[in-house]
Structure 1
Amino acid sequence: MLNVILVGVFFLAAETAAATDEEACLPAKDSSRIVAAGGSIAEMLYSLDAGNLLVAVDSTANYLPETANLPSIGYVRNLSAEGILALKPSLILGEHDMGPVEVLNQISNVEVEVKRIDERHSAQGIIDKFKCVARVLGKEEAAQEIFTSQFAQTVASLERNDQGSAFLPRAALVLNFVDNQPIIAGANTSGDGLLRMAGAQNIFSDIEGWKPLSRELLIAANPQHLVLTERALKSIGGLEGMLSDPLLASTDALEDNNVHAYGGMSLLGFGLQTLEVALSLKGAIK
Structure 2
Amino acid sequence: MAAEPPSTARKLATVGPAITETVVALGAGAQVVGVDDSSAPLAPGARKLGYQRVLSAEGLLSLGASLLLASKEAGPPTVLEQLRQSGMEVVIFANEPTVEATRHQLQEVARRIGREEQGRALSQALDEELARVASRLAPLDGGKRPKVLAIHARGAGALMVSGQHTAVDTLLRLSGGVNAIQGFEGHKALTAEAVVEAAPDILLVPVSTVKTVGGVEGLARLPALAMRKNWRVVTLEDGHFMALGPGMGQAVTRLADAFHPVQPGAR
| 1:98 equivalent in alignment to 2:51 | no
Structure 1 pair 181–214 and aligned structure 2 pair: CA distance change class (3 A): farther
Verify the 8 A CA contact 2:71 2:93 in the aligned structure 1: yes
AA aligned to 1:164 is D
TM-score by length of 1: 0.78
Partner deviation per Cα, 1:227-277 (whole Å, 9 max, x = no partner):
1112322233211223456973664xx525x31012211443312223211
The DSSP-based 3-state class of the residue aligned with 2:161 is: strand
Structure 1 pair 46–177 and aligned structure 2 pair: CA distance change class (3 A): closer
Match of 2:216 in 1: 239
Aligned residue runs from structure 1 range 133-152, under 5 A = 133-148=109-124, 150-152=125-127
Deviation at 1:169, TM superposition (A): 2.2
Match of 2:259 in 1: 285
Distance 2:246 2:221 in 1: 36
Deviation at 1:46, TM superposition (A): 1.6
Match of 1:53 in 2: 31
Distance 1:119 1:165 in 2: 29
Aligned residue runs from structure 1 range 17-32, under 5 A = 32=10
Deviation at 1:164, TM superposition (A): 3.4
| 1:265 equivalent in alignment to 2:239 | yes
Verify the 8 A CA contact 1:41 1:94 in the aligned structure 2: yes
AA aligned to 1:91 is L
AA aligned to 1:69 is G
Match of 1:17 in 2: none
| 1:174 equivalent in alignment to 2:148 | no
AA aligned to 2:26 is L
Of 249, 258, 262, the match for 1:275: 249
The DSSP-based 3-state class of the residue aligned with 1:105 is: helix
Q: Which structure shows the bigger proportion of residues in helix conformation?
A: 1
Of 175, 184, 194, the match for 2:161: 184
Verify the 8 A CA contact 1:230 1:264 in the aligned structure 2: yes
Deviation at 1:83, TM superposition (A): 0.8
Question: How large is the RMSD of aligned CA atoms in angstroms?
Answer: 2.6
Distance 1:169 1:270 in 2: 22
Match of 1:63 in 2: 41
Identity %: 26
Of 11, 16, 19, the match for 1:38: 16
Verify the 8 A CA contact 1:186 1:209 in the aligned structure 2: yes
Match of 1:25 in 2: none
Distance 1:146 1:192 in 2: 22
Structure 1 pair 180–97 and aligned structure 2 pair: CA distance change class (3 A): closer
Deviation at 1:217, TM superposition (A): 2.7
Verify the 8 A CA contact 1:267 1:278 in the aligned structure 2: no
Distance 2:223 2:34 in 1: 46
Partner deviation per Cα, 1:54-102 (whole Å, 9 max, x = no partner):
22111111222xx222211112222111111112221111112211111
* Corresponding pairs, count: 251
Distance 1:238 1:46 in 2: 30
> What are structure 1's unaligned runs of at least 5 residues?
1-30
Structure 1 pair 180–60 and aligned structure 2 pair: CA distance change class (3 A): closer
Match of 2:6 in 1: none
Match of 2:230 in 1: 255
Verify the 8 A CA contact 2:67 2:90 in the aligned structure 1: yes
